[in-house]
Amino acid sequence: MRVLFERNVVCPMRDHVNLMANIFRPEMGGPYPVLLTRLPYGKDTGFAYGLLDPVRLAETGYIIVIQDVRGCFASEGTFDGFLQEFEDGYDTVEWASKLPGSDGQVGMFGASYYAYTEWAAAASAHPALKVLVPTVALDDGWEGVTFRNGALEWGMAASWYSSLAPAYLLRTKKDDSNFKQLFARLIYDSDHLSELGYFELPLDQFGALKHADILPEFFDQITRTTYDETWRAISIKPHYKNMDVSALLIGGWYDVFQKSTIDAFQQLQSFGQDVRLLIGPWTHVNYSNAVGDREFGMAADSSFLNFQYDRTTLHQLWFDYKLKGQDNVLVHEPPIKLFVMGENTWRYASEWPLPETVFTKYYLHYSDYLSTVLPGGEQVSQYIYDPANPVLTTGGNLLMTPKFRPGPIEQTDIESRSDVLVFTSDVLTAPLEVIGPIRAQLWVSTTAKDTDFVVRLTDVDQNGKSINLADGIVRMRYRDSIEHPELIEPGEVYAIEVDLWATGNVFLVGHRIRVQITSSNFPRWNRNLNTGASNESTEDSAIATQTILHDVVHPSHIILPVIPRLQ
């Protein structure tokens, strides 16, 4: 079937701002469902076509619409971020459902920010919107996006806004007499973010944007450090119960929005929607079979997906099922499909967490030992945390500059530091399958008024190579509430829970389980300066002595979701 292409088709919003879209449509026949994506990265750039092939989808009988969101590239207006996508999403769905050749049904697809635009449109509840495919999607501007348990997601925030900055500067200051100098300095600052910009203090003087005097919402965002009405206004979480859409959620074990993806699946499933979950061993931008320091086999590559289909075909099958009523392989599969690292296989499940999960406590012991045996009367473990010499980010659920590689990365340099505690199990004599959410319960003390504790789970092979699986952080002032932060008393003992999100991994025979504990993962999370003052507007820091208790009264441990196996 031949496909016709239209560029810069006008889509009017309720306030008379015009958003521009590219449209791919079948030349003959119809009417057809409309598949829509709305992104801030340019409808004419590689971002618009990296997720799937719109021509192939159009050939199968769909009208494909790719739109620049408000204030970006060809679209009019001012880009104000997440909040604008609710009304603009509704208005665009209304317009798309009435395009020539449309059958009145709309589905949406997209990744990252343009997966959020799907959620925002679904929250606005236009009746024409029937089905979504959010890939690596965020659903809340605070948790896991700008902050993680109170710690600023500095690496992601600085990198993302820096990537938006050149287009924004060109759009807003191209007639400024100093434009060339401003643009040159912005590119210099962006190019040196890894070595210079990330390390600047205080954070609210972030040079890459301050020098150009642009994107003031960035500074407002990083200094608005309690969960207020502004944050609530852009959260999707309150809207799930009112959504009437089916959704195929695609995520990665090392994606920055892994938790949002899993939470959205659980919420929609609990409210009776037809929702599916697919998680590969992927990062936010890498959906191949080679991720970080690991090679997972060709079946892990999203271009093959267990040798069943590629990403475009996966989208087509889901849309065919939900918008055309066609019977296909997705109809008969269980709702959850997960890649299990270690053994490098795909498996299906009906619920999350998996119904057969046995949540098992692994306790920390003074001799750097990790076991299922309760500790006795043991000494504490201690280390010194100096904010001027933080533990540098090495792998994980990252979206940062290329110097800081995401995914599974060897941890030798991290574990050799004196400010990183390492607890390791005995060598495994049988495979240990761990799939699901992971939490750590710690009893801690510090000499600081405020500080951080970071916990990381790793898989150690026969050669001693330690590969990260999951991690989490707690900023102590937010230990009990993100809405009502409270400083701590130096020397007091506090019980804290650290959410490491989730993983899917088999620890093979001959491997060992390892837990790291430290107080920084920088620049992924901004340094806690240990002073109790604002970490965003000050640069003074203090050195702290950190104490982890692990005795019969304070049995610090990590809880692993173990999947029983037949011996």
Active site residue ranges: 112, 255, 284
**Is the Cβ–Cβ distance between 339 and 407 less than 8 Å?**
no
The Cα–Cα gap between 565 and 556 comes to 27
DSSP 449-488: SS-EEEEEEEEE-TT--EEEEEEEEEEGGGSS-SSS----
**Is the Cβ–Cβ distance between 326 and 320 less than 8 Å?**
yes
The Cα–Cα gap between 422 and 413 comes to 12
The Cα–Cα gap between 36 and 107 comes to 6
β-pairing, 466-475 vs 452-460, is antiparallel
> φ, ψ for residue 416 (rounded to 5)?
-85, -5
Please name the residues in contact with 388: beta carbons below 8 A apart, sequence gap of 6 or more. Answer: 541
**Is the Cβ–Cβ distance between 423 and 553 less than 8 Å?**
no
Nearest to 222 by CA among 145, 149, 152: 152
Please name the residues in contact with 96: beta carbons below 8 A apart, sequence gap of 6 or more. Answer: 11, 34, 36, 65, 102, 106, 128
Please name the residues in contact with 184: beta carbons below 8 A apart, sequence gap of 6 or more. Answer: none
Euclidean distance between the first and final Cα of the chain, in Å?
54
The strand pairing partners of 555, in sequence order, are: 550
**Is the Cβ–Cβ distance between 65 and 34 less than 8 Å?**
yes
